[in-house]
A and B are shown apart, each in its own frame.
Chain A
């Protein structure tokens, strides 16, 4: 029996084999989707760049030579240099770390928070639902960037505060999704069956409802990553995110703005980085939606 057959068998003989088999099916469906593969490659490239930044960077991201300032792209300076003579390619490579940290932290804070609150709200209904969804609506009705701006203005500029601000503004969408999914699930017979076995509400929510909401939230988070990167870049552009000399992409665009007519590469190169990474997350999110969608998932 080949590994492939072992993974795809209809009658797995252990918990481990069943789990691996399911992951393998998802993986197979994902690599059949060309856009998802492109997205995954972009994200993978971003992760590798961030992890091995010193290896890929050709110069220091922080110190430049003023004699070499505002040079156009060349063999020595792949993407040119900025107004302080720093290599833009090296700064973009190190900036990948900041972008990745922001995206991961926001995802790790906002998604579980939204998922949990939404599931509680949908499962209990009544007053719990009204209060939680009221709070959610308040956050949803405020423009994201403005709210993030207000938070950063109150807490002070910096990456940590930018992350907190973006997380606080992005959880309500996940809470809404999780609540909507929970409402369709909570009266189903398999939930009634678990309740009849004496399961506590917490157990029903954590072990039976949340796993079924997770795939739609994961898809939404992946699609939102582009928005999170743009918000982070927007905060950076306004000088409220990462502070100089950190090579944050939005801040780099902001610095290059003054030279945009004569030295276009200073603002454009980090712009390209943002576009490519955002696109990567969007492609991956679309691919994941095709693979993880609960309605189509039953067939795979």
Chain B
């Protein structure tokens, strides 16, 4: 049974199809990357899986169960998402404590006073940040809070939408190390959307290359190093990345 499987999924926004016939499978515990340029539809795939983009056809299954088009609590407990912009993904008037307790309150889970500090520690957040507001935190700290929030419900699958692209280079490395460690410790399955190929080779096992709403190639990440990519576009992307253009 795969953690996530997409079969011939096409996704539209307001009648305008932006992703065509996407199919891939992600095994439990695997880390899978969706790469491509801006506008290639990679974030849209994540939004369709979560239910934020409900206009899709085809089949999406999470841990063997077919996905509906709405967000329900059972789904929320198994699959969470980390957004790209840590400045926009935290409620500006809620403390870290309130943000992290919210998922527990929604699912009626007790013991927030114990779980919140535990999760903060697991995500490398100093306990002194617990009652701060987002504007009192740095970008990297905010992204740690966003990751902690996504993990509060102990999901099996984590969707990462360019989790480091809004951060400074030095902070990017910290967040990537954190994600790598969390995956190892908690046996998480990742789907990572990025345009940054070094991030893919650091964090992922397999990748799908997307262009203009279509998946052009699915290959193991080792292909990046040993020139194992077959499609022209994927090679082009790697070339651009090496010469520092992408």
Contacts and interface: CB of A to CB of B under 8 A. Distances in A.
B107 A195 contact: no
Interface residues of A, number: 28
Interface string B5-35: 0000000000000000000000000000000
A13 B131 CA distance: 7
B75 to A, nearest CB: 7
Contact of B80 (A10, A189, A196, A211): A196
A192 B83 CA distance: 9
A1 interface: no
Interface in B46-61: 50-52
A190 B73 contact: no
A211 B93 contact: yes
Interface stretch (A14-22, A96-104, A135-143, A250-258): A14-22
Given A12-B131, A203-B106, A198 B77 contact: yes
B158 to A, nearest CB: 11
A196 B132 contact: no
Given A18-B95, A190-B89, A197 B135 contact: no
A213 to B, nearest CB: 11
Interface in B125-161: 128-129, 131-133, 135-136, 146, 149, 153
Interface in A183-224: 188-190, 192-199, 203, 207-208, 211-212
Contacts of B89: 189-190, 192-193
B102 interface: yes
B52 A192 contact: yes
A298 interface: yes
B73 A189 contact: no
B196 interface: no
A13 B146 CA distance: 21
B71 A195 contact: yes
B76 interface: yes
Interface in B35-86: 50-52, 71-73, 75-77, 80-81, 83-85
B128 A11 contact: yes
Contact of A197 (B85, B88, B106, B146): B106
A185 to B, nearest CB: 10
Contacts of A17: 131
A197 B103 contact: yes
A212 B134 CA distance: 14
9 contacts: A11-B129, A18-B95, A190-B88, A190-B91, A193-B83, A193-B90, A196-B76, A199-B102, A203-B106
Interface of B: 50-52, 71-73, 75-77, 80-81, 83-85, 88-93, 95, 97, 102-103, 106-107, 128-129, 131-133, 135-136, 146, 149, 153
- The 8 A-B residue pairs with the shortest CB-CB distance, nearest first, are A198-B76, A11-B128, A198-B73, A18-B131, A189-B89, A12-B131, A197-B103, A189-B88
